Structure 1
Amino acid sequence: MRKLIWILGCMAALVTGGVCAADGVEPVYGGCVDARGAPVPALRDEQLPAVVTTGVEGGLAVIRYNPAMLPRLLPLTRAFLFAQACARIHLGYPAHGDLDADRARRADCAAVDSLRRAGLLDAHGLGALVADLRLADDEWARVPGPRRDFALAACAAGSGRGVYGAPAAGQAGWNACVRACAAPLYRCQARCAAGQCADCESAYAACIAGCGVP
């Protein structure tokens, strides 16, 4: 099965707690694909009462995110929540409503695995992520449910391989190629925020298609 493709712009900076942005624009969210390999739009929504949600619009799965929601969260936590939302869609689970505990757990582990396999999450980062995901009662309505303990340390290394496919010798080059594709996506979304919208996701999908399969 095709590897799940997703990226949150300048991921290395995010994992170390840095902020990768230019001209006041937050890091890029995008690059998710569904179980058939079709791009899943990632839409900024400053009115969204959640960090990230999944849904169906016009018959297609979409991810909406609000970078201002729960400002206390670490950038790494936002990366995980976006990856979890993407994994949910890629696994073929319904985009509407809360998942049951088993499906939420699998999506959690798939998200962790995607961060690990990209070299973006180590044991220290995992501890910080789990600590940051100890949510207050009023915060649970702002993140994908159901309410649960994020026992991410128990996610086996490679737990997402049944979804993403096993890593190959070309994984590092593929990662670099996908990250390079994020740069024009970032510029495109910045122009869109200024009222000069273009089909950013389609251009990004075409770019990563040229990266091949890891």
Structure 2
Amino acid sequence: MDIPLQWTLAYLKETLPPDLLTYLDSARTALLHPSSPVHALRAALSRLAAEMVPLLASALDALAALLASSPTVVAAAVLLILAAVVLQILSIVRRILLFWTRLAFRLLFWAAVALLVSAVWQRGLERSARDAAAVGSTVAGWAAGAGEIWWREYEKAKQAQAQAQAYAHGQGQGRGYQYMAGAGAGAGAGRGAGTAWR
């Protein structure tokens, strides 16, 4: 027996009550007796294993031969297993990130609520209402200014787009007229040159 195990058993014999020690000793002898159910189960399992080993060995040999004859199937199976493992890992990482993000935002929300309640508690309800009205009017002013700037930029972009479309439309018509006029002038010059040659 190993030394630490002997020490443990000796310690248990010293600390456990004698009735429990006699019960454990009788249970040990009953379990180790050759006619115990544990031995019968062990014998049945060893017989089952002896009968199953040839069947499993033949099935494993057939599977190994099949895999050796088609390595593309093995590669595809390995890739599928690898993809499944990667997807499972990514799913676990996503769930962990969602959990911690939700927890952080909940803590932030309740910290802001606690800060607001403590500020109202310290400053009083009337003074806090005046401060809230001042802050609200300032934020409303900033929002109105930002909306006005956005509207001006939107109008400028709309006018620039309309001008670009009008310029492109006018340019296209002008090019068509110039092309037609140039073609006519070229044809007239060609006729005139032909007449002068004769």
Global fold match (TM > 0.5)? no
Q: TM-score interval w.r.t. the shorter chain? A: under 0.3
More helix by share: 2
- Give TM-score scaled by structure 2 length: 0.15
- Give TM-score scaled by structure 1 length: 0.14
Return the index of the structure with the highest Cα Rg.
Answer: 2
